[in-house]
Amino acid sequence: MKTRFWIAIVAFLLLSGGFGAPSPVFAQNQIGFIKNIRVGLHANRIRIVAVLDRLPKDPPVYTPGPRGSLTFPGLMPSPSIHKRVFAHSGALKAHFKEINIHYAPGNQETRLTIIGPISESTPHFFTLHHPDRIVADFPFSARSSSGKTSPPKKANAVPPRPGQKVIVIPGKKVSESNVARALPAAFSPSAPLAIRSPRFRVVIDPGHGGKDCGTLGVNGVCEKDLVLDIALDLRKRLEGDRRFKVLMTRDQDVFIPLKERTDMANRWKGDLFLSIHANSDPNRAVRGIETFLLNLRSSDKRSKEVAMRENTVLGVSHGDLGAILLTLRVNHKKKRSLEFAGDLDRSFSRNLEGQYQGVRNLGIRQAPFYVIMGTSMPAALTEINFLSNPEDARIMASRTYRKLVARALYRGIVQYYRQVHPEIQAENNHSPLLARP
């Protein structure tokens, strides 16, 4: 009975266009999402960066005090955001202890409670783009070479009285190119920004496993073994890069239901989810690589069939799908998932096409895969080659080729990371991307 109820609700929403354009209420409110909060130490400032899916209509408001209150009207925290941000280094702890993040649904605003000495100071705000960000620089006292403490420089503002609110007056937006002119010389964007942020969490999901072979190739090789080998290689590359931390839904030949996979990713609060599969088609002439992202309406008949096959094999009920579909109204991840899929797609074109004759990148497609629908973070699913095609199955059996696939996936993830975390690029002194094996 419960399953029938969900199916009826979802069917009504689909037929009425409920999952098409935003609802009137959502369109009027225009609530944006805070994707992440990052804190860093630079010169005589503590920098707090709010990474957004879009800039809000109204500016932020700050109320200084022992527990300073930074309010973002028209923004709500994403489901995967950490609700408390702590200072992890000794240098940061001298000026800042923690930030508590609260959302007030009635006011449709997010409030950051800032605890630490910097909460008494007046911040300087500016915005950045690609992605959209609001940056708050909090000045603090710095010790001179004589050991005396010099007063903090105020950010063009009269020192506030206790309880006084500081309102940021909307003005000319600061673009990436003119930040140097808008900020003091000590804050030139060319200077390293030493942000001590947690490593970017990547969830790797090798498809199938255990009793579920997945697609059985024309050469008798199981999909589950091929994608696990690619996933393990990818994990090794990511773990060798100090920017990333990796969780695998399976790292051996075991069967894990889809719901457990998505639950693992959500509990771990991953920043990115990648599911790796191999494809098949009744037409054995079909070859190539496809990247999928979530959409309730499949981009074509074959995409719909692929999603149905993957969902059915791993035991997804209509009730599970219905419950998730009803939450998509407030799910902000589609934009970021599209960016991630685009980065993977471009990496496949650069690193695989031309390396093996006949390998084609078939581009980005959309379908309602449960495993990328059930995660709270940006997600994509790759179908690496068609095991139903003799030539695709042959090259997939090659360890050399699978290493190339893992390298292409790694480079796509790095490119996505660079887009969503440009404010910490200056700190990352790594080898050039193309120099990695």
CA atoms within 13 A on the CB side of 242: 9
Tally the domains of the chain. Answer: 2
Inside any domain, residue 363: yes
Average pLDDT over residues 251-272: 91
Instruction: Tell me the CATH number at 102.
Output: 2.60.40.3500
The answer on 231 and 162 residing in a single domain is: no
CA distance 104 to 134: 19
Inside any domain, residue 220: yes
Inside any domain, residue 435: no
The answer on 336 and 284 residing in a single domain is: yes
Expressed as residue numbers, the domain containing 385 is 200-420
The answer on 86 and 225 residing in a single domain is: no
Inside any domain, residue 344: yes
The answer on 211 and 162 residing in a single domain is: no
Among 29-33, 254-258, 318-322, the least confident range? 318-322
Task: Give the count of beta carbons closer than 10 Å to the beta carbon of residue 422.
Answer: 18
Q: Where is pLDDT greater, at 170 or 223?
A: 223
Among 57-71, 186-200, 322-336, the least confident range? 186-200
Residue 151 has pLDDT above 50, yes or no: no
Q: What is residue 379's three-state secondary structure?
A: strand
CA distance 205 to 227: 9
The answer on 325 and 212 residing in a single domain is: yes
The answer on 98 and 140 residing in a single domain is: yes
The answer on 204 and 168 residing in a single domain is: no
CA distance 378 to 200: 13
CA distance 212 to 227: 13
CA distance 210 to 256: 8
Residue 374: pLDDT band (50, 70, 90) is confident
The answer on 217 and 168 residing in a single domain is: no
Inside any domain, residue 10: no
CA distance 73 to 82: 19
Instruction: Tell me the CATH number at 252.
Output: 3.40.630.40
Q: Are 360 and 287 in contact (CB under 8 A)?
A: yes
Q: Where is pLDDT greater, at 288 or 1?
A: 288
Of the ranges 54-68, 248-262, 398-412, the best mean pLDDT one: 398-412
Inside any domain, residue 360: yes
The answer on 216 and 259 residing in a single domain is: yes
